[in-house]
Structure 1
């Protein structure tokens, strides 16, 4: 890491968490390939063209568990049981793992889930409607995708609560006010408990197969040795976490963006056919995964914006790229009528989001129902007082979203 690295405290302050986009704009202009020191040293890539190339660049490896054991700098020594999955793998390993899972996320199969997703949405809203107020993250944004992915995987309903609790310890790390050491211990404990639970669940489903996604993974393991049992557990964790975390954070970010842009909210209420394009714009405007999962430079890599040295961890800043004025006119303006462009909110290349069809469907049904069933929806506190995930979190989302509406 060079001596002119940007200190992490400059990028990951409370002010940055509230609005990172002015900082992203400065980096795109002044230091588009920028070394940053923080929890671990890395290079951030912020311009759209550089980011799009980097997301498919074979010189940037996703194999964090191969030679060099780069995962130790990022995840720590106890991560392999859960994080050694296709997200952190290169072809052909990534190709093998993704091929097995992708059948479960085929658009036709996901579309068949639409009635069930709509039922979950209505059940959640039925509970809050009589009260005229809600904390939407707890009451709606988190339980919606969590319930969907748990049912898809085959996690028993009686276990949804504790699985949710463990994932929320991981998601909200750094927000409890505890010391850094206490936070690390809490996250490690949650990861360990979740790992043991998923391993036990996989063993139970092997003994008594079910017609669910975990059952399909086990069948793939048994039929042609395509997956080891450890890979089934790690893949289940990836699908569980990725299947609800980003969608929950997207829903919170999207509702907050609409409530702080009332003209866009009213336009969407009166023109509901804009909902699909609105979701793409809301994802571009303030996406839930600001920086793509880490990559490792296997050699010195030159981009128009700068050079990444061999061995460096690379973070492709999706939310900065999605506000690049070279690709989006007036990019800091929310415009749900914007002609859909090639945003990077779902990634790009072989690691393009596997669950994109499910995420879009949940967002369309969830946001549509909120606007339809909660008249007069508005923030219950000033926008500046809405509590966010800490700036050091790999996710951009809200801790709470208090709202009121006409009961």
Structure 2
């Protein structure tokens, strides 16, 4: 039976109310009815002099390609005071939150690490990680009482941390200890109404920066064949990045290499279990179906919902004036359900043609690691479902209290092996 996400019990009366509801625990748990309600107001919704909400697919494509819409870089965050926090001190030293010319400089430095050849070579890492942690699941099931197992803790986060840990040369004994810090840093992407809300992100960032700073120094003394060693060598050879930018880039490689794939694994498994006619076909030799299923998962329930842009100058945008310095909230997850772009958008349908969700962005800031994230899911989910063909949800999954980077906090399953 196809999955839909329409559970709104009370109408949303206007953009301010809907936007406010989005950032409540209930709104974050199921934002799609709120997106639907906001859609009644149009694809571009002014929120006052300081902001604009953009829901439309074509409109977001335009914004992501328009160089007048800047990412929120260090200059922007100095005005908000967020630059005083260690989370944003690090984030504003990476390509994701840098504008020209720094963005191009940083992207050139790191692009080789995400080349098609590199992604292909890393599939074996992902396969070994998936086999390792499905074996771990089977052991837990055999040693336990047959009760529910949290798939987020035991599989969805472990595969990406193992793959990315191998790439970076992080010792196995350290990898699982870094997961809490990685997830904590992503809370900095959420709208901040009180500076104290950044404390978890700052604490997590301090752990990651200290760890990777130490790893950089170690690899400078004793190089290996890992990505950190290569980037240290390249940085020292041409000076393309400062030392702080190098460490920040490695921090972002770790965060992006773990969190988005982990959330996408969780979302894909959930949809496979609730759409069993398609989910049962997700096997290692069904490449086309696996690819289509993940693409539709990225459209229907992506791990990243919102991007923020800042207007460099006054912009006439689809009949609305966006003032210089104001923010545009680009709701990618709403654009992925734009009825002008996707027929019957609330229906999960792996047979969609020309299915191009915006979940990894578009234009100059298109996510450099998108193929790396997809590859991990393409490998891990078929291994899991093949090993446990009777896998089932034991309870509705629970979400983290986040919307910008949205994923499960817990996903209890029964393996069906007994």
Q: State if a TM-score over 0.5 links the two structures.
A: yes
CA shift in 2, pair 1:54/1:173, >3 Å: closer
Q: Is the CA contact 2:73–2:92 (under 8 Å) kept in the aligned structure 1?
A: no
**1:404 pairs with 2:383:** no
Q: CA deviation at 1:166?
A: 1.6
Computed over aligned residues only, the root mean square deviation of the Cα atoms, in angstroms, reads: 2.7
Distance 1:36 1:210 in 2: 52
The normalised TM-score by structure 1 is: 0.88
| Matched residue, 1:250 | 264
| Matched residue, 1:289 | 304
Q: How many residues align?
A: 392
Q: What 5-or-longer segments of structure 2 have no aligned partner? A: 1-13
Q: Is the CA contact 1:6–1:34 (under 8 Å) kept in the aligned structure 2?
A: no
SS at structure 1 position matched to 2:137: helix
**1:18 pairs with 2:32:** no
Distance 1:331 1:342 in 2: 13
CA shift in 2, pair 1:266/1:190, >3 Å: closer
**1:164 pairs with 2:179:** yes
Q: How does 1:61-210 map to 2 (within 5 A)?
A: 61-62=70-71, 64-66=73-75, 68-70=76-78, 72=80, 77-78=85-86, 79-130=88-139, 131=141, 133-171=148-186, 184-210=198-224
Distance 2:43 2:116 in 1: 36
Distance 1:71 1:123 in 2: 47
CA shift in 2, pair 1:325/1:266, >3 Å: same
Distance 1:159 1:288 in 2: 25
SS at structure 2 position matched to 1:399: strand
Q: CA deviation at 1:19?
A: 2.1
Q: CA deviation at 1:75?
A: 6.2
The normalised TM-score by structure 2 is: 0.86
Q: What 5-or-longer segments of structure 1 have no aligned partner? A: 175-179
| Matched residue, 1:314 | 328
Larger displacement relative to structure 2 (395-404 or 206-215):
206-215
